[in-house]
């Protein structure tokens, strides 16, 4: 008797049925995940290209993150510089009013300077998270401090409001008048020589090495004015008194591509910031009792000159005002915006390549699954038909 079917034929039919079922299952996974394969073996011929594109994408995203960080820090820095500029403008307005009666306005001036200095310090010590924005590369170090262990405050007078502070004018003598050719006599003689170019012929009264403000004014009002002018000059305020600044001089920079870096930001030792801070510090540290009116008048006048440089743009000098610093701060903004657009486009292109390599054509997968489903149903019907056959049907 001839067999209806052999065992081998039935096994072959079951093999093809199970393989069709497996292809249908794989199609379901591809449709759900949107990827051609869950392993690189499924896209073996495109693996090298895919890995290169994914590596480039990772780097590009890091560059884009750098750009976004720089943009945020520029905005924060500009905001704080705007606050510093406001302080300078308010101080100039206050000095204009106080100049009409220096001694009468002294208490209010000292209080204003003390509060303004505290607010200025907050602006200079601006942070992005735990990073100080104006400290250069010393990002973990506060930009400015008035801690007595690190900073020697400017003191033009001793506490008794009469005697000129010997520590400060010793700095003046060493830093400004200590050059070769200046006499090595009393402090008064050195100031006189600095102003007039000759040694005074009449000895200074009282203690020549420690002249009082009153004696200075009585002996030579012009010399007193000259002395205070020198005290509040850029040279005297800046050079010997930079220990308030705790950062370094390195301008922040970011990398926006493998071969390109962009500098951005400023540091807290910019001259305009120095001058504003040091003037406020000098006024804040004046004694409670008002110094002589002549001193205050000269100091206010010098303060107005300093604030003019800090606030107003003067193209004839190299001194950068706060507004010029703000312009320098926002200078890289357009370049960063261009870099951001380029990096975003590169990311989108990389994602498209990855999607083309890994991604599926949903319509194609669905059509294949429908075909596989028809094949599988036909296979099941065939298996069912074979299983229902018996010899009785052939007798």
pLDDT of residue 109 exceeding 50, the answer is: yes
In the predicted model, what is the mean pLDDT of the chain? Answer: 77
Tell me how far apart the alpha carbons of residues 218 and 207 are, in angstroms, rounded to a whole number. Answer: 14
Residue 181 CA, chain-centre distance (Å), reads: 46
Q: How confident is the model at residue 1 (pLDDT cuts 50, 70, 90)?
A: very low
pLDDT of residue 348 exceeding 70, the answer is: yes
168 secondary structure, DSSP code: H
Phi, psi (degrees; rounded to nearest 5) at 75: -60, -45
pLDDT tens digit string along 115-151? 999 999 999 999 999 999 999 999 999 999 988 888 8
274 secondary structure, DSSP code: H
Tell me how far apart the alpha carbons of residues 246 and 330 are, in angstroms, rounded to a whole number. Answer: 24
What pLDDT shows up at residue 55?
85
What pLDDT shows up at residue 195?
81
What pLDDT shows up at residue 161?
46
pLDDT of residue 102 exceeding 70, the answer is: yes
pLDDT tens digit string along 43-60? 545 556 767 878 888 999
pLDDT mean over 247-252: 89
Cβ–Cβ < 8 Å for 287, 161: yes
Q: How confident is the model at residue 157 (pLDDT cuts 50, 70, 90)?
A: low
Query: Cβ–Cβ contacts within 10 Å for residue 295, how many?
Result: 25
């Amino acid at each position: 008797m001839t067999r209806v079917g052999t065992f081998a034929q039935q096994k072959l039919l079951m093999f093809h049925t199970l393989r069709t079922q497996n292809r249908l299952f794989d199609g379901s996974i591809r449709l759900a995940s949107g990827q051609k394969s869950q392993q690189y073996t499924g896209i073996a011929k495109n693996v090298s290209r895919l890995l290169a594109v994914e590596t480039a994408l990772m780097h590009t995203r890091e560059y884009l993150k750098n750009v976004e960080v720089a943009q945020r820090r520029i905005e924060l820095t500009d905001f704080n510089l705007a606050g510093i500029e406001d302080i300078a403008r308010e101080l100039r307005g206050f000095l204009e009013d106080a100049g009409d009666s220096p001694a009468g306005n002294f208490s209010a001036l000292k209080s204003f300077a003390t509060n303004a200095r505290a607010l200025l310090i907050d602006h200079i010590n601006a942070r992005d998270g735990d990073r100080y924005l104006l400290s250069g590369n010393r990002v973990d170090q506060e930009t400015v401090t008035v801690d007595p262990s690190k900073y020697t405050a400017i003191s033009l007078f001793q506490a008794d409001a009469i005697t000129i502070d010997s520590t400060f004018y010793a700095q003046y003598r060493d830093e400004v008048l200590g050059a070769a050719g200046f006499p090595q006599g009393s402090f008064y003689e050195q100031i006189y020589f600095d102003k007039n170019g000759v040694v005074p012929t009449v000895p200074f009264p009282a203690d020549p090495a420690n002249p009082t403000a009153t004696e200075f004014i009585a002996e030579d009002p012009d010399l007193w004015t000259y002395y205070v002018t020198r005290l509040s000059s850029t040279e005297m305020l800046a050079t010997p008194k930079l220990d308030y600044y705790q950062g370094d001089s390195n301008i922040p920079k970011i990398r926006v591509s493998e071969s390109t870096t962009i500098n951005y930001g400023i540091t807290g030792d910019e001259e305009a910031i120095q001058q504003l801070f040091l003037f406020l510090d000098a006024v804040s540290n004046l004694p409670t009792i008002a110094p002589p009116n002549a001193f205050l008048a000269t100091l206010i006048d010098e303060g107005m000159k300093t604030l003019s440089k800090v606030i107003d743009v003067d193209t004839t000098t190299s001194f950068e005002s706060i507004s010029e610093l703000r312009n320098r701060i926002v200078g890289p903004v357009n370049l960063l915006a261009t870099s951001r657009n380029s990096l975003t486009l590169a990311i989108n292109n990389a994602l498209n390549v990855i999607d083309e390599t890994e991604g599926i054509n949903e319509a194609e997968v669905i059509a294949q699954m429908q075909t596989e489903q028809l094949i599988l149903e036909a296979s099941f019907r065939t298996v069912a038909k074979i299983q229902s056959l018996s010899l009785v049907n052939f007798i």
